[in-house]
Structure 1
C-alpha cells in the first residue's frame, strides 16, 4: 500500500511543467502495479488531477492503440501491445548481457578466469570472458572460433549436440592439440556420453598442456543447450580435493544463467 502512495506522489511531482499527451499516457501506464491491475476513469482523474472526461479521453486513446483494454465495464487493464513490448524487451537482452554478472560471481568463487561459449554449426565461438587477475589469463577474444573437440567448454557443448549433427561433426578427421586431445571419434563419443551422464565436462590438458578446465551447459527456455560456462586454471595449482568444489560452482553458475535465460525467453 505504501508503494502505491509513493508512486502516486512521484507522478504528481514528476509531471510539473509537462502538458504533452504522451507524458500523461506514460503517467497512466505507470499507475499499474501488482496491487492495481485495473484503473477506472475516476482513478486516473484523481491521480492526474484532471477532469474525468479528460482522463477518459486519455484512456480511450491508449485503448485505441492497444496499450489498454476495457475489462467488463469495470475499468481498464494493460493491453496486448504492452505484452508485445515486454516480449521485445526480453528478446533484446542477449545471453552475454545475462552472463556477465554470473561470470563475475563464478570468478570470485573459484578464483579462475571464466568463459562463455556457444556452438554454431561445426564451430565453437567465444561470446564472453571474465579474467581473474591471476597469472593465467584467457587469450580468447570475443568472437574467436575455438576447437570443437578439445577444452571443457567445447566438450560441454558437443555432448548435447543433436545426434545427426554430432555424426556429421565426427565424420571427418579431428585435430589433435596435445596427447590428451580426444581425436578418435569412437573414444570421443564415449567421453561425451560420460559428460552427458554427469552433467559437466572436465578437461585435463586437452587443448593446452597443464591446464585444467571445467565446463557445464547453459540451457534456454525450451530446455535446449544454448551455451556453456567454463573456468580454467593451471592443473598443478588445483589440488584434486578442490576440483569437486569448482565443479559445483560451475554447475551452479550454469544453472543460474539457464534460469535467467529461460525467464527472458532466450533459447
Structure 2
C-alpha cells in the first residue's frame, strides 16, 4: 500500500481524497496550487485526486478552479430523509419559528458533534451561521447540552474525551465537573439554555426529543439575541413552549 502522498490506492489515498473534499468545502472553491500548499501535498497528487472526483461527479471544474458539486446535496438529502422523525421534526421547527418569531432548529448528534438538520427563521429572527449540515459543539449550545443530558454517562464520557471542552466565549463551560452539574440540572427541569456560550450575545433554549425506546433522537431549540431573552420569556415562556412541542414530536413519532 502506498503512502498518502502517493495518492494511489489504500487507506492513505482515501484519507487524502477526503482532505481535498473538506478543504474545498471550507474554501468554496480552490485551485490545485492552493490545495497543495494548504494540505502539504504535491500538486500532481492533488490533481490526480481532483480528476477522480471530477470524473465521479463530486467536483466541478471551472477553468483552473474546483468546487464541490451538487451531488453532495443529493446524498445529504437522502441521508436526512432516512433519519427518524424527519418530516415530523421539520413541521415542529416551522411551528416554533412561527410562534416565537425567532430562529428555531432541530439538531442531531453524530460522532460527538451536533448537526443542523433543520432550521427556520421567524419574523424577527437574526441571521447567523447555522447552515444545514453544519457541525457544532455539544457542550456550548442549548440543543447540544439537551442532547448530552439525554445520553448515557458512558457516551458523554467518550464525547468529552474525544472533543474536549473548547472555549468559544468567556461563558463557555470548559470544566468537566461544571458540565456534569449543568447536565444534571437539565435532566431535572427538562430543558437547557445557552447564554452566550457559543456566540456572544446569542442566547437559546433547547429541549431533547426522545424515541419511543427512550434513546435521544435530537433536540429542538430557539435562538435569539440576548436582549430579547429576558424575564419570563426565558424563564418560562420559551421553555414551556419547547417542552410542549418536543412532547408533541415524541408522541407523533411514537404513533406515526
Question: Is TM (by shorter chain) over 0.5?
Answer: yes
Aligned to 1:166: 156
Which among 217, 230, 239 is matched to residue 247 of structure 1?
239
What RMSD over aligned residues (CA atoms) do the two structures have, in Å?
Answer: 1.7
CA–CA distance in 2 between the matches of 1:143 and 1:259? 26
Aligned to 2:252: 260
Aligned to 2:97: 107
Structure 2: segments with no counterpart, 5+ residues: 1-80
Bigger CA radius of gyration: 1
Aligned to 1:211: 202
CA–CA distance in 1 between the matches of 2:90 and 2:244? 15
CA–CA distance in 2 between the matches of 1:253 and 1:146? 23
CA–CA distance in 2 between the matches of 1:260 and 1:138? 30
- Superposition pairs of residues 214-233 of structure 1, within 5 angstroms: 214-233=205-224
- The alignment covers a number of residue pairs equal to 174
196-205 vs 165-174, greater mean Cα deviation: 165-174
Given that residues 105 and 119 in structure 2 are in contact (C-alpha distance below 8 angstroms), is that contact kept between their aligned partners in structure 1? yes
Aligned to 2:117: 127
TM-score scaled to structure 2, two decimals?
A: 0.64
Given that residues 192 and 207 in structure 2 are in contact (C-alpha distance below 8 angstroms), is that contact kept between their aligned partners in structure 1? yes
CA–CA distance in 2 between the matches of 1:122 and 1:101? 25
Aligned to 1:49: none
User: What's the secondary structure of 1:221's corresponding residue?
Assistant: coil
Asked if 1:152 corresponds to 2:164, the answer is no
- TM-fit CA distance, 1:170: 2.2
User: What's the secondary structure of 1:171's corresponding residue?
Assistant: helix
User: What's the secondary structure of 1:130's corresponding residue?
Assistant: strand
